[in-house]
A and B are shown apart, each in its own frame.
Chain A
Amino acid sequence: MEYINVFITGGAICLIGQILLDTTKLTAPRILVIFVVSGAVLQVLGWYEPLVEFGKSGATVPLPGFGYSLAKGAMEEVSKKGLLGILTGGLTATAAGIGAAIGFGYIVALIFSPKSIR
C-alpha cells in the first residue's frame, strides 16, 4: 500500500526534525535551513530520487523535498538549456510554491492581526 510508504517516509523525516529540536540547541529556522540544504545535497549525490520513488509525497512534502526540487530543477535545466539553467533551474521548478507563499502570505499577514498566546 503506497500510503504506508508515504506515512513512514514523511513521519521519519519529521521524527529526525523533532530529535534535532529536542536534543540540540538548534532553533526552528536553522533546522529549516539544514533540511532544505540537505535535500539539495542528497539530490546532487543521487540519493534523494530513490526516496521520492519509495515515499512519494512523504519525501516531497517535507522541507528536504523543497531542496530536492530546487537542485533537481537546476540540474535538469542545465542538461536541457545549458549554462543559464544554473541560475534559472532551481527557481523555475519551485516558482509556484514560492509565488504562492509570498503573494498569499503577504495578503494573509495584512488581513489578520496578531493573536495573543492562549
Chain B
Amino acid sequence: MSNDKKLPDIGTEQDPKVKKQKAKAYEEYAKQFTPKPKYAANGLKAFVVGGLICCGAFAVQNWLMDFMKLEEKEAGTWVTVLLVCLAQLLTGLGWFDSLAKFAGAGCIVPITGFANAMVSPAIEYKAEGPVLGVGAKLFSVAGPVLVCGITASVIAGIIQVFR
C-alpha cells in the first residue's frame, strides 16, 4: 500500500468532536478504494443504446404507417405495445438483465425499462403465489410510476379546465 493511502492518526480520545473528525477522515480514506463509476463510458453506452431503441421504434412505426396504412397515432400505440411485450419477454428469458448491465439507463429510461420493472419483481416473488406474489409484485415499481403519472395527468386536466 502506498504511503498516501494511510488512515490518518487523530488519537483515541472519546471527545465527540474528535470522533466526528475521525469519521470524516475514515470516509475520505474509504473513498480512495471505492471504484468511481466510469461516467464517460456509461454515458456513451446509455446514449447509443437509448438512441438505437428509439430509432428501432421509429423504423417500426414508419413501416406500420407505410405498409399497414395505419395513422401516426395508431402506429405509435402499436409500437409502444410491441416494445412493452418485447421487453417483458426478454425479462422472462433473463436476457434483459444482461442488456441492462451493459446499457444502464439506455434501456431503463425507454418504456422498455418500465415493462421490465413490472415483470422482474413479479417473477422473483413467484413462490408467494399467483395472486399475492406475482399479481401484487407486478406493481411494486409500476404502482408508484402509475400513481404519480396518473395524478400528474389529473392535475394537467384540472389546469386545462381553467385555461
Given A40-B156, A78-B157, A90-B154, A29-B43 contact (CB < 8 Å): no
Residues of A contacting B108 with CB < 8 Å? Answer: 17, 21, 28, 31-32
Residues of B contacting A106 with CB < 8 Å? Answer: 122, 134-135, 138
From A100, A114, A117, B85 is in contact (CB under 8 Å) with: A100
Q: For residue B58, which residue of chain A has the nearest CB?
A: A57
- A10:B54 contact, CB within 8 angstroms: yes
B interface SS class: helix
- How many residues belonging to A are interface residues under a CB distance threshold of 8 Å? 77
* CB of B89 within 8 Å of the partner chain: yes
Assembly CA distance A19 to B92 (angstroms): 28
Interface size class of B (residues with CB under 8 A): 35 or more
* CB of B71 within 8 Å of the partner chain: no
- B49:A14 contact, CB within 8 angstroms: yes
Assembly CA distance A106 to B39 (angstroms): 35
Given A15-B50, A105-B115, A74-B157 contact (CB < 8 Å): yes
- A58:B58 contact, CB within 8 angstroms: yes
Assembly CA distance A16 to B109 (angstroms): 9
- What is the number of contacts between chain A and chain B, taking CB atoms within 8 Å? 261
* CB of B77 within 8 Å of the partner chain: yes
A residues contacting B by CB (< 8 A) are 2-3, 6-23, 28-29, 31-33, 35-37, 40-41, 43-44, 55-58, 60-63, 65-67, 70-71, 73-75, 77-79, 83, 85-87, 89-91, 96-98, 100-102, 104-106, 108-115, 117-118
B residues contacting A by CB (< 8 A) are 37, 39, 42-43, 45-55, 57-59, 61, 76-81, 83-85, 88-89, 91-94, 97-98, 104-106, 108-111, 113-115, 117-119, 122-124, 126, 130, 134-135, 138, 141-142, 144-146, 148-150, 152-161
